[in-house]
Amino acid sequence: MLVVDDDEVIRQLIAVNLTLEGFEVFTAADGQECLDRVAELRPDVVTLDVMMPRLDGWVTAMQLRQNPETAGIRVVLITARAQEDDRDRGRQVGVDAYLTKPFDPAEMIRVVRELAGAPNSAYD
């Protein structure tokens, strides 16, 4: 499990909630760090913020999908961007789930748990 968000408070909130649920959690501060770490960590699921410095969540998700070694990683966008256009873009990029901030930690855990163990998309 890799949690990617440039806001340290949100990153730690997500990480703590998932750790308490039994997930082994690693963190990254932006999309570039995510891509740098994903090969070594081999996470089943990545949570991605959209608006981040260096490499945003859209580009990061696209690069994960385009690389055959990372294309199977489940991706959850967790973002303040709640417009339908943003959700559509998430579908086009191929993310598995889309949660808007502020998010319900119980819902986030449910989605991650489902993606970590199930082949079906939790989008919507």
Q: Please give the domain boundaries of the chain with CATH numbers for all domains.
A: 2-117 (3.40.50.2300)
Q: What is the pLDDT of residues 61-111, one digit of tens each?
A: 999 999 999 999 999 999 887 788 888 888 899 999 999 988 899 999 999
* Beta carbons within 10 angstroms of residue 50's beta carbon: 23
Indicate the pTM of the whole model.
0.90
**Contacts by 26-30, CB closer than 8 A, 24 or more apart:** 26/1, 26/2, 27/2, 27/3, 28/2, 28/3, 28/4, 29/4, 29/5, 30/4, 30/6, 30/54, 30/55
Q: What is the pLDDT of residues 35-65, one digit of tens each?
A: 999 989 999 999 999 999 999 999 999 999 9
